[in-house]
Structure 1
Amino acid sequence: MDLETASSPLSSNGSTSAARADQSAAARQLAQRLDAAQATIGVVGLGYVGLPLAVEYAEQAFDTVGIDLDEGRVQQLNAGANYIEDLDDDTIRQLVEEGRLRGTANFAGSDEIDVFYICVPTPVTETNEPDTSYIESAARSIAEHLRPGQLIVLKSTTYPDTTEGVVQPILEEAAREKGLELGEDYFLAHSPERIDPGNDEYTTANTPVVAGGATETCTHLTKKALEQIVAEVHAVSNPKVAEMEKLLENIFRSVNIALVNELAQLCDRIGDVSMWEVIQAAATKPFGFMPFYPGPGLGGHCIPIDPHYLSWLARKHDFETSFITLSARINEGMPFYVVESVVEAIARQPVQLSEASVLVLGVAFKRNVDDTRHSPAGTIIKLLREKDIDNIHYHDPHVDSFSVPTSENGTLDIPAVEELTPEVLQQYDATVIVTDHDAFDPHQVAEHATSIVDTRNALEGITDPALREKIHLLGGGEE
């Protein structure tokens, strides 16, 4: 599809206009290079978002460069070694061998890159304020190599006005020195990532994405660039809309998970009411309801972090996001509730708390993945240690090593149990299921663990009354 015939998003005055044939030579040249698969793609940040994106472009015959300051990660990639479970090992090896995909730990030679995707982390500070230092660093490095015909797309999840308020000024400073104009010579947009680790049905290629450019031409070029690898691209009027919609996606989940987490605690207080059965019953309604489930707390990069972005931004505008803040507080309190349940399980046994042993099943933030970012398991283990429980081990077939922060600002490696056997399960006073990996055998766990705290309803199929007696289900209403 030619740039001149691409559909246009709404402009700032609400009207729709077709892309004009008299757009700049730089815009037309980039559009032509994209259509011919001759554009060079640069992906800054080779993590869970960046590497799958780079692989998609390389598979479509684009010369693709991954840029990451982690030299170990770059060396792995250049050796054809895959380090993300969702990607196919053979695919990456073949792309590297054919020269379509390569990694580098610096920006040398970035003048040759036509389209930059910024896929770097966007954490929050200790006071829950956005930390845009990674984005700023990437933007400064790109600015050093800025030239006509380049498109820069921020994909990192962030707050509205990051693209135009943080990235754009950095690029403009370099552009003024080189006599370049935004929207004419170089182009800028935001297109939030929609990666769902462990999801085999929706991948980078078939998940629709949103794109909003700093100018109309920026939007058209971003849409064109993404359409080379994504089946559906929805254009919006500006980067702020794209940034805000990503927050809406994740805060929608945060709020609904908080609702069922709070009701799960209430069900436990009431007794004889299982929140899991309640949700199952409500889900029979074919309209007006979407099921969400209780759990030990939120994990991953986006959902635990995004509410803080918006709350921080709201305060700058003298607005309080009370509803969103409350939801985040409820979800952040779930690991404390889980630890209380573990302590109660131990209290029913003839062992002192300081001498008790606990086995944590699953430290990834969700089932069947190796991603431990912001996993509630880390907080649960830290809180258990604060209860003087030092004998804590974990088992997770997807995670080889796991550590938690200490009060001395260091980290502590948690010993791993490599093989889950009946003998291993019997050694612990309490077993807490934090992640419901498919690899766990529920019958084995139920039969041989001494006492179980199930935060995911992983043992739903266990109906033997004698086995159910030693299972505490979060939100199960057994108390």
Structure 2
Amino acid sequence: MPADLAVIGLGHLGLPLAQAAVTAGVQTVGYDTDPRACTELSAGRTPVEGSLTASDIRRMLSGGFRTTTNPAELGRVRTAVICAPTPLGADRTLDLTAVGDAARALAARLRPHTTVLLESAVPPGTTENYLLPLLEEGSGLRAGRDFHLACSPSRLDPGNRTHVYANTPKVIGGLTPACTESAAAFYGRLTDKVVRARGPREAEMTKVLETNFRHVNIALVNEMAVLCHDLGVDLWDVIRCAETKPFGFQPFRPGPGVGGHGAPVDPGYLPYRSRTPGHPLRMVSLAQEINDRMPQYVIQRCATLLNEHGKSVRGARVLLLGVTYKPDLADQESSPAREIASRLMDMGAQIGYHDPHVLDWRVRELPVPRADSLYEAASSADLTVLLQHHRTYDLQGLAVKAQLLLDTRGATPAGAAHRL
């Protein structure tokens, strides 16, 4: 049976979109080139850590959701949404390879009057300068005349139970006003509010601003954490006081590094250099440099604490708690835990870990021993480091059991542990 919607890319972006569409009663097919992903989903299992639960997938299947690796299915829908991943490359630019592959697969089957939407995180100009030519060349159709084209960057916050797909406003920028309205009509079925941008570039740049806002502000509090420690000031108390200001301040909190799927983007370095001024965002580059230094700072604090208690890092038993990038999720994307573990191993430490959401963890392809009993492991470890605060952790009890506890999240009661 033909579907109303094709979600292209069944990862962190595509699965929540498909879930929202099925919930809204939209006949949805998920397309992915990875047969394993489709097989897992069809069996009621999630192929992506930290995304939907198995029960979520089963509800989607019972609501008519199906998956396919057959690109012919893409030619039978009214709306196609590209949710392909755009990982950060070695040159710190977003890799658009998967977006290009998705566009080519869709273009060969694209029918007139289809609405094509891009949700992938992309640099400004991608919809018009990269996606549009691929779709037009592969289909022989004209964007804005024969089919609708728009960008609506994802605003997902995995694990957030307050702001979900339905109550998070959707920003849309179409190639033409008609493209914008066609996209708005689709997203209006899934979310309470649609925000119309002037065009695709404005929509794309909205994502850049939102992501960079987060990274720059985290970098600020990370620098403040280092400064406050050196001055003997309790930063966590400073933040508690500052966030009582009802205007002009938004609280961010430091940590051992920045993880997740939202990579900072500097529009001064784009694949379309001839079309951009090439002025780098110095604030973004500096923020990235600061945030990249945090794992090393955590190592420094570990070494200092051990030394103050008459122990060397070499040979020390170090227990890492929480190796995911976000609390209460299994997703390890860009989590600083792996770099911290790797550096401690280089210094001769004996590493173990505990995470209720990660049953098997590897560093440099080597398995890291997982603690079965958290309290026993903490009491026998020379140093316990809280890297992620999962809800299941009883930090007050942990502070009593641990020989030495470094809290990088400021989650323990004041005075119960050494805090970042």
TM-score interval for Structure 1 and Structure 2 normalised by the shorter chain: over 0.9
Q: How many residues align?
A: 415
Aligned to 1:295: 255
Distance 1:254 1:95, change over 3 A: closer
Aligned to 1:30: none
User: Given that residues 256 and 294 in structure 2 are in contact (C-alpha distance below 8 angstroms), is that contact kept between their aligned partners in structure 1?
Assistant: yes
Distance in 1 (CA, whole Å) between partners of 2:278 and 2:267 is 12
Displacement after TM superposition at 1:118 (Å): 1.1
Q: Structure 2: give runs of 5+ residues left out of the alignment.
A: none
Displacement after TM superposition at 1:68 (Å): 2.0
User: Given that residues 3 and 76 in structure 2 are in contact (C-alpha distance below 8 angstroms), is that contact kept between their aligned partners in structure 1?
Assistant: no
Q: Quick check: 1:215 aligned with 2:176? A: yes
Aligned to 2:381: 428
Deviation string 1:439-461 (CA, Å, 9 cap, x unpaired) is 111122101111111100121x2
Aligned to 1:225: 186
Aligned to 1:328: 288
Aligned to 1:395: 354
Distance in 2 (CA, whole Å) between partners of 1:80 and 1:447 is 42
TM-score normalised according to structure 1 size = 0.82
Deviation string 1:161-218 (CA, Å, 9 cap, x unpaired) is 1111111110111233xxx221122121110101101100111111111000112211
User: Given that residues 269 and 278 in structure 2 are in contact (C-alpha distance below 8 angstroms), is that contact kept between their aligned partners in structure 1?
Assistant: no
Q: Quick check: 1:96 aligned with 2:61? A: yes
User: Given that residues 311 and 325 in structure 1 are in contact (C-alpha distance below 8 angstroms), is that contact kept between their aligned partners in structure 2?
Assistant: no
Distance in 2 (CA, whole Å) between partners of 1:111 and 1:135 is 18
Amino acid at match of 2:419: L
Distance 1:120 1:417, change over 3 A: farther
Displacement after TM superposition at 1:424 (Å): 1.5
Displacement after TM superposition at 1:403 (Å): 2.8
Displacement after TM superposition at 1:401 (Å): 2.5
Q: Specify the SS of the correspondent of 1:234.
A: strand
Distance in 2 (CA, whole Å) between partners of 1:85 and 1:174 is 35
Distance 1:124 1:94, change over 3 A: closer
Amino acid at match of 1:353: V
Distance in 1 (CA, whole Å) between partners of 2:253 and 2:109 is 47
Q: Structure 1: give runs of 5+ residues left out of the alignment.
A: 1-37, 475-479
Aligned to 1:200: 161
Deviation string 1:403-439 (CA, Å, 9 cap, x unpaired) is 33x4xxxx3333322441x222122111111101111
Q: Specify the SS of the correspondent of 1:211.
A: strand
Aligned to 2:419: 473
Displacement after TM superposition at 1:347 (Å): 2.0
Distance in 2 (CA, whole Å) between partners of 1:111 and 1:432 is 52
Deviation string 1:348-390 (CA, Å, 9 cap, x unpaired) is 345443211211100111111111101111221122222232x
Displacement after TM superposition at 1:85 (Å): 5.5
Distance in 2 (CA, whole Å) between partners of 1:119 and 1:90 is 22
Amino acid at match of 1:129: T
Quote the RMSD (CA, aligned, Å): 2.0
Match of 1:154 among 88, 97, 118: 118
Distance 1:402 1:152, change over 3 A: farther
Describe how 1:348-427 pairs up with structure 2 within 5 A: 348-389=308-349, 391-404=350-363, 406=364, 411-420=365-374, 422-427=375-380
Q: Percent of aligned pairs with the same residue?
A: 38
Distance 1:109 1:283, change over 3 A: closer
Amino acid at match of 1:141: A
Displacement after TM superposition at 1:82 (Å): 4.2
User: Given that residues 365 and 374 in structure 1 are in contact (C-alpha distance below 8 angstroms), is that contact kept between their aligned partners in structure 2?
Assistant: yes
Amino acid at match of 1:249: E
Distance 1:181 1:311, change over 3 A: closer
Displacement after TM superposition at 1:136 (Å): 0.6
Amino acid at match of 1:184: R
Amino acid at match of 1:73: A
Q: Specify the SS of the correspondent of 2:314.
A: helix
- Larger CA Rg, structure 1 vs 2: 1
Match of 1:448 among 398, 401, 418: 401
TM-score normalised according to structure 2 size = 0.93
Describe how 1:6-155 pairs up with structure 2 within 5 A: 40-82=4-46, 87=52, 89-98=54-63, 100-155=64-119
